[in-house]
Amino acid sequence: MMTFYPGNKTGGIPGLFGDPYYWWESGAAFGALIDYWYYTGDEGYVDVTTQAMLHQVGPDQNYMPPNQSKSLGNDDQGFWALSAMSAAEKNFPNPPEDQPQWLALSQAVFNSQAARWDKLKCGGGLRWQIFTFNDGYVYKNTVSNGCFFQLGARLARYTRNNTYAEWAEKAYDWTEYIGLLSKDYKLFDGSDSNLNCSQLNHIQWTYNAGLFLAGAAYMYNYTNGEERWRTRLSGLLNATDVFFINDTMAEVACESSNTCNVDQRSFKAYTSRFMALTVKMAPWTAEFIMPKLRTSAKAAARHCSFGEDKNTCGMIWTQEGWDNKYGVGEQMCALETIQSNLINSVAPPVTADKGGTSKGNPAAGTGGDRAVSAPQASPTTQKDKVGAGFLTALVIILMIAGGYFMIV
């Protein structure tokens, strides 16, 4: 994966993989390296990971660097925060004292997103995009709210501050109320706030399922096994079956049609990451999860001996041979899925009163968003950011037409 990283080379920018990879995927990739350290103890990537995670915090130390404003979504910011949260929970080496700390960074993102909770449209929820000038501002998507939900649940467990849990529950309840979380625990992509979220985009992605699965597991753990969270967790767990073919994980919305974009080619990585966390928070789920992670890891390993270096991983694990797909996403999916099989050999994520050393700041990120001018886009620089799955215009057209995509 790091063979694709120019950030620690001359002319590179720490924390960025560069085109064609969006900023959010870089944050997710360094989360994978935090996990790698957690599982193996190998310190070879500690310095580059710390450098990357700190270089992208932005002037308000809440993962909002101004040079990312033309495509900065709540989901993007959320993935960087979840990586910082992993660093705090796993006792990843702390930054120098004069630098932002992992827990404080997570709190800053959470607080900045809580302030964006939008009651004026759809009765609540976070929008996809943060700034009004970006395509996707009218879209309320599951991944943004899922990141917020999981981050709140993890902060609640780490700090024992129930306010985070209350917000997590609000995010879960809203997602359910709107219908993005169905009665049978399927998670759909999003909805148009201009239609008051009355019509849904029914496509399902692995990472949305993973976000809510681990979030529910953290809430189950935080509430000492409260029955309603066990019921929700069980339902979410069973609903992940749609993403496994003979126990091998697949991005079923796009793999068979060969339409996965760069973002989507990384989604399975986060699902594996979050399934492993679920096992740690709710050990009774291991009976369901571990066979799937083991089978998927074996399949991923069989698809990681391609290319001239014989270490290149493909995307589709359910077919024979190489699909000729390669990149950061493919490498990260294999890495996270394989290393997640070590989850039972490592200590549980720490908390502030049980082994945690990261320093927090409950007031971080409460200053509101800075005013940002709309960037001047050119045909050569304006990208087709898909993020949660579709361009907003296409989603609106599909909704108005009454059509949708569904995986059943």
| Average pLDDT over every residue of 132-161 | 97
- Position 380 pLDDT exceeds 80: no
Residues 6 or more apart whose Cβ sits within 8 Å of residue 20: 262
Does the reported pTM lie above 0.75?
yes
Please tell me whether residues 306 and 401 are part of one structural domain: no
Residue 378 binned pLDDT confidence (cut-offs 50, 70, 90): very low
Please report, for residues 93, 176, 191, 246, the alpha-carbon distance to residue 187 in angstroms, rounded to integers and kept in the order given: 35, 9, 12, 21
Q: Are residues 393 and 309 in the same domain?
A: no
Asked if residue 396 and residue 348 are part of one domain, the reply reads no
Segment 298-348, tens digit of pLDDT: 999 999 999 888 899 999 999 999 999 999 999 999 999 999 999 999 999
Report the pLDDT averaged over residues 183-205: 97
Q: Per-residue pLDDT for 388 more than 60?
A: no
Q: Do residues 299 and 389 both lie within one domain?
A: no
User: Does 73 share its domain with 198?
Assistant: yes
Helices (H), 240-349: 267-281, 286-302, 328-339
Percent of the chain with pLDDT over 90: 87
In which band, very low, low, confident or very high, does the pLDDT at 5 lie, cut at 50, 70 and 90? Answer: very high
Do 193 and 176 lie in one domain? The reply is yes
Structural domain count, the chain: 2
Residue 384: pLDDT band with limits 50, 70, 90: very low
* CATH (domain of 286): 1.50.10.20
Same domain, 324 and 383: no
Average pLDDT, the chain: 92
Predicted confidence at residue 375, as pLDDT, reads: 65
Q: Which residues pair with 123 in a beta bridge?
A: none
Return d(Cα 108, Cα 56) in angstroms, integer.
Answer: 14
Q: How far apart (Å, rounded) are the C-alpha atoms in residues 210 and 349?
A: 17
Q: Is 179 left (phi over 0), alpha (psi -120 to 50) or beta?
A: left
Alpha carbon 208 to its chain centroid, in Å, reads 8
Q: Rounded distance, CA 289 to CA 262, Å?
A: 26
Of the given ranges (50-59, 140-149, 301-310, 363-372), which has the lowest mean pLDDT?
363-372
Same domain? 253 vs 372: yes
Residues 259 and 356 both lie in one domain: yes
Residues 371 and 384 in one domain: no
pLDDT tens digits along 205-220: 999 999 999 999 999 9
Q: Are residues 129 and 148 located together in one domain of the fold?
A: yes
Same domain, 266 and 121: yes
Domain that holds residue 399: 379-407
Q: Please give the average per-residue pLDDT across 42-67, as a whole number.
A: 97
Q: Is the pLDDT of residue 169 over 90?
A: yes
